[in-house]
Amino acid sequence: MAIEKIGIVGAGQMGSGIAHVAALAGHDVILQDVRKEALEKSLALIDRNLSRQVAKGAVAEAAKQSAIARISTATDMKTLADCDLVIESATENEAIKREILKALCPVLKADALIATNTSSISITRLAAITDRPGKFIGMHFMNPVPLMELVELIRGLATEEATYQTIHALALKLGKKPAAAEDFPAFIVNRILLPMINEAVYTLYEGVGNVESIDTAMRLGANHPMGPLELADFIGLDTCLAVMQVLYEGLADSKYRPCPLLVKYVEAGWLGRKTKRGFYDYSGEKPRPTR
């Protein structure tokens, strides 16, 4: 099946990035979100990121302009009716994703595919809510989408081979390298990455180090491009917590227990970069450690 028009539900940091790469690859994109201000912010972000690519010589000005012209936005889900594929990239919360999928199915063409960008929730369980489990797949992009090459492709139990092949071909067309993962909690990257971030928060919680020493230690000692707390702020602390909860519940192993300090930050609404405060304070010119 040829994928031409792509719908994206959720215009947060990931939905914006997916819209950016899809439009640049020549697809018409409809970006849908319940919050109008999220859509406005998203368009401004896409424009800024494309301009950065133009300045670096990675993208031609004309290509930027046509990519922007291919993206439209909507708060009404009905606008997704003629999409060949909808990628769900809303908040990492199963109840929200269930509501979205229930509302989305009656709107779509019978042969439209649905992908979810969930970081951790079972693809098989989400597929079962839909009227088309065979046409449902996990398409897990990395953040920031325009820069990161990997896309994990996750088959649910019912995912048809044709769906997998179509999405595999699309991932290549978007300039990504697909890696197949089985449908187990958090798949491959987050199964390994998030327990490390959670352990970094425990290290902070127990006073083994402060924000700066933990991040410096992992940057210079493990040669990671970003420290784990810096990375947690970048991902979003709510998303980090949601993934740890899925691992904890899904694998029923106490080693995945979310650190109470991570829970506290999320309860305070200190979600990282997107709220300008997390393990660092982003209100000034340079990020300032908060502990």
CB 36 within 8 A of CB 30: no
Which residues on neighbouring strands pair with residue 28, listed in sequence order? 5
Which of the ranges 64-72, 83-91, 126-134, 283-291 carries the binding residues for ligand NAD, by CB under 6 A? 83-91
Asked if 107 interacts with ligand NAD (CB under 6 A), we say: no
Which of the ranges 62-70, 94-102, 178-186, 253-261 carries the binding residues for ligand NAD, by CB under 6 A? 94-102
The token pair at 150 is 């990997």
The token pair at 145 is 């989408």
Pick one of 7, 15, 156, 278: the residue that binds ligand NAD (CB under 6 A): 15
Examine the residue annotation and report whether 20 is marked as an active-site residue of this protein.
Answer: no
Which residues on neighbouring strands pair with residue 74, listed in sequence order? 32
Asked if 198 interacts with ligand NAD (CB under 6 A), we say: no
- CA gyration radius for the chain? 19
CA distances (Å), 203 to each of 41, 213, 233, in order? 35, 10, 16
CA distance 256 to 191: 10
Could you tell me the smallest distance in angstroms from the CB atom of residue 33 to ligand NAD? 4
Asked if 236 interacts with ligand NAD (CB under 6 A), we say: yes
Asked if 89 interacts with ligand NAD (CB under 6 A), we say: yes
Select 37 or 285, whichever has its Cβ closest to ligand NAD: 37
CA distance 40 to 29: 15
Contacting positions for ligand NAD (CB under 6 A): 9-15, 32-35, 38, 89-92, 96, 99-100, 117-119, 140-141, 143, 235-236, 239, 274
